[in-house]
Amino acid sequence: MAFKTIYFSFIPPYKKGRIFEQAKKAGLDSLPLVSLIALFIGFIFAFQTAYFMQRIGSELYIASLVALSIVRELGPVITALVVAGRVGAAITAEIGSMQVTEQVDALETLAVSPMKYLVVPRFLALSLMLPLLTIYADAVGILGSYIICVFRLGISSSIYLRVTAEALFYKDLFTGLFKTIFFGMIIALVSCYEGFNVKGGAEGVGQATTRSVVFSFIMIIIADSIFTALFYFIFP
């Protein structure tokens, strides 16, 4: 299924309307939840880091630690997990319902490829929107840390911004965003695969949705571990 999806992704015609529709569901509609979670991740991580840094008199390094952690790991992974739970489950339920009601068979009868019509738009939309969502989540997470450090811990705003800018390099942003492209692919493929393999009516749709979210979480964590190990040796 993965090979077919990648193959059809390069074969025109492209259903731009369906791609934009799925991009809206995956990206724009996910902004409120991603905003809330990223902001509180920034709050919590700043407080937890400050607890230790204040003991050794190194409060200024809170900004660099939080920024690096969010950009390289927390931002990409948390965003992918949120999208997998929200969008991935919806994709599985939607395609699963179509499978149960034989709408997928109807597409094949009309000489329409279910892969091209159903999977490719979701695959492309998630692959494109997850990096953009991650950039947004990174910014919101750093904003949350900024609010805590400046208004609660008394760190100067200019110093916080300067330390954050000095700590981040292009490679940090690249390593975080590069992974999210594959996270988006994983979510789309797992969700669509589980949807196409639904059996047993409405109960089967619920079971497939659960499997989709669980398998997506597991594969995202495994993929993140692999990429982190690779980037450790490539960009030490």
pLDDT digits (tens, 9 = 90+) for 29-67: 999 999 999 999 999 988 888 887 877 777 778 888 899
Q: Say if CB 142 and CB 164 are below 8 A apart.
A: yes
Torsion, CA 64, CA 69, CA 70, CA 73, rounded to 10:
150
Banded model confidence at residue 101, pLDDT cuts 50, 70, 90: confident
In terms of residues, how long is the chain? 236
Question: Could you tell me where the DSSP H helices lie in 84-119?
Answer: 89-100, 103-109, 114
Banded model confidence at residue 235, pLDDT cuts 50, 70, 90: low
Cα separation of 146 and 130, whole Å?
A: 24
Spell out the residues 6+ positions from residue 10 whose beta carbon is closer than 8 angstroms to its own: none
Banded model confidence at residue 120, pLDDT cuts 50, 70, 90: very high
The pLDDT tens digits of the residues spanning 140-171 come to 999 999 999 888 888 888 888 998 888 888 88
For the entire predicted model, the pTM comes to 0.90
The pLDDT tens digits of the residues spanning 109-119 come to 887 888 888 99
